[in-house]
Structure 1
Amino acid sequence: MASDSSSFNIDAPRWDQSTFRGRLKHFFNVTDPRTAFVSEQELAWAKEMVEKSRAGDVPPGTRVEQLLYAKKLYDSAFHPDTGEKMNIIGRMSFQVPGGMIITGFMLQFYRTVPAVIFWQWVNQSFNALVNYTNRNAASPISVRQMALSYVTATTAAVATSVGMNMWTKRAPPLVGRWVPFVAVAAANCVNIPMMRQQELIQGICVKDRNQNELGLSQRAAAIGITQVVISRIVMAAPGMILLPVIMERLEKLHFMRKVKMLHLPLQVTLAGCFLLFMVPVACGLFPQECELPVSYLEPKLQDTIKAKYGDHVSSVCFNKGL
């Protein structure tokens, strides 16, 4: 790799974001769980380097490798819309360490109603923070809306879990182990749209290829939020569906029966292994910078764009969030 950084475009994607493979490489890079634990000083350095590179003021002697590392830290910790530092728990780079603990405990303690209620509450608290942190920041959300979203999603998750636990009492044990996943999927279908309802009501900002703002679109918001819901469910699915099957078989082994205290740490570790791969896979399912044909937008917005740009703008872009 060339070491000259004077003409380096730090915002140019390292990999082709129009392909799943390119997005997968990108998200393996920015969701690296190690970046969640770098120091505040290192994050400040990363932001400074990115800003200097954008301004064409890279310090002499800076290598491209250093700029790439700075951009990796910047993308992992700073919001793409606002440039503000995100809280650590809400960052996608914290999904593996945070998610593995919560997933492991949800899958381990699924038999009693109090345990189900507690861990679904913990999980929805975590999800609400992640959803808020990774929203499209151009659409503000009030404290009241956040509280309503949080309460609604938590209620949906708890009701689904408790209801299905009662329903599956006479079913095979493995069926009961899958209840947490169904609850998580149901809650995601509520939590994310509720947390981002302002985008659905007012629309999100769509831009042309030159980043000129063209207007607000509710249809674009609906597509972006739907893609995020699908991604979150896919992120959780392999671990929460396959891990119960694995644990069901392991727990029948003579050795595992003698060391029951290892069941929980083993389950947490295995959940982490699944998430290590599924976080970038799920994030990479759809482009973060989505593109829509103008013909799909609301008629009024189509007219506005055509009146100003004619046929020169055939598609629009928007940030769907994560």
Structure 2
Amino acid sequence: MAGTLPPHIDLREPRWDQSTFAGRARHFFMVTDPRNLLLSGATLEEARRLVQDYRAGKVSAGVTEDQLWRAKYIYDSAFHPDTGEKMVLVGRMSAQVPMNMTITGCMLTFYRTTPAVLFWQWVNQSFNAIVNYTNRSGDAPITTGQLGTAYVSATTGAVVTALGLKSLTKHLPPIIGRFVPFAAVAAANCINIPLMRQRELKLGIPILDEDGNRLGESRAAARQAIAQVVVSRIGMAAPAMAIPPVIMNALEKRAFLKRYPWMNAPLQVGLVGLCLVFATPLCCALFPQKSSMRVSRLEPEAQARVREKSPRAEIVYFNKGL
């Protein structure tokens, strides 16, 4: 192999050990880096070329190992791991912090009136629908009807939850009302993600052996993958929607915000952003991206396919999605 790179770098795997939380966290700090959104199309294509050339046994002279890993993370930030398609900009994980910072900050600021609750829950679920579709597991298409059902159901669930809890907290301390948006977001995640990925629940997601060879599809693997993503998404939202309300409730009692009420929204958005910078990669790292399951836990038909193709396999692997 030409160039200065060793031939044994496995670009199918992250740079850091994914069996440890610290390794996964370092990986996702790279994947969710908002600066990746500023990269040009030419930079993305160059990263893809470097990665694909290296996988094919070719590399340009002078490319270092650090440059190759940087290209891999640029490639991973913009292209779907299963389909290889370029992902829509706002659906990429690198868009999570700036998009959620703005939306969540506004949800926490404008939660007092019904029209504001309706509008920001709708905006949030529209964004979530794009993210859930963009980061789905596997390479199976999803129909327009399935997309529409998931979107409408999740938006309705979030709005009903928000309005219902808002009415229940009318006579409670104001601080309680500030947590209504989080309850609505948690409920919506439990609806939106399974519905957006319902095809995976019905038909299964690709399962692989340790060498990356496809052994079939599994519905049990899909259920585990989706459950892990739901937990991660709720965990991701928790600090950003639980810590700023407490701080803002204390600040609103002081003279500064009474004198400059227009600072409420910028402060709220900034606090949410600070939480999300850390919560997003750390909660993505709760579970390995390349998740695993024992063959004995698969549904019988999936077990039969695995036994037929790889009789000695005890564990299968799959992309859980994000």
What's the TM-score bracket when you normalise by the shorter of the two chains? Answer: over 0.9
Q: Report the Cα offset of residue 229 of structure 1.
A: 0.3
- Which amino acid is 1:161 matched to? A
More off after superposition, 43-52 vs 148-157: 43-52
Q: How does 1:1-322 map to 2 (within 5 A)?
A: 4-7=4-7, 9=9, 10-310=11-311, 312-322=312-322
Are the equivalent residues in 1 in contact too, given 2:138–2:319 (CA < 8 A)?
Answer: no
2: CA distance, partners of 1:292 / 1:6: 32
Instruction: Give the Cα–Cα distance (whole angstroms) in 2 for the partners of residues 273 and 176 of structure 1.
Output: 22
Give secondary structure in 2 for the equivalent of 1:316: strand
Q: 1:22 & 1:146 partners in 2: Cα distance?
A: 34
Cα deviation for residue 207 of structure 1 reads 1.1
Distance, in Å, in 2 between the alignment partners of 1:206 and 1:180 is 36
1:35 match: secondary structure: helix
Q: CA RMSD in A?
A: 1.2
Q: Using the alignment, how far apart are the partners of 1:74 and 1:181 within structure 2?
A: 33
Contact 1:235 1:275 in 2 (8 A): yes
Moved more, 135-144 or 222-231: 135-144
- Classify the secondary structure of the residue corresponding to 1:206: strand
For structure 2, list consecutive stretches of 5 or more residues without a partner in the other structure. none
In structure 1, the gaps of 5 or more residues are: none
Q: What does the per-residue CA deviation read over 1:263-287, in whole Å, with 9 as the maximum and x for residues that have no partner?
A: 1011111111100001101110001
Native 8 Å contact 1:136 1:319 kept in 2: yes
Alignment partners' CA distance in 1, 2:54 and 2:131: 29
2:316 partner amino acid: V
Indicate if the aligned counterparts of 2:107 and 2:117 stay in contact, CA closer than 8 A.
yes
Structure 1 stretches of 4+ moved >4 Å = none
| SS across alignment from 2:321 | coil
How far did 1:45 drift? Answer: 1.1
Per-residue deviation at 1:146? 0.2
TM-score (norm 1): 0.96
Q: Is the Cα–Cα contact under 8 Å of residues 8 and 64 in structure 1 kept in the other structure? A: no
Moved more, 40-49 or 8-17: 8-17
Q: CA deviation at 1:85?
A: 0.9
Q: Distance in 2 between matches of 1:223 and 1:151?
A: 24
The letter of the residue matching 1:74 is Y
Aligned residue identity for 1:282:
C
Q: Percent identity?
A: 54
C-alpha distance in 2 between matches for 1:61 and 1:208: 35
Between the aligned partners of 2:14 and 2:75, the Cα distance in structure 1 is 14
TM-score normalised over the length of structure 2: 0.96
Cα deviation, residue 300, structure 1: 2.3
Deviations 1:295-314 (A, max 9, x none): 0011222233224433x111
Once the 2 structures are TM-superposed, how far is the Cα of residue 219 of structure 1 from its aligned partner?
0.6
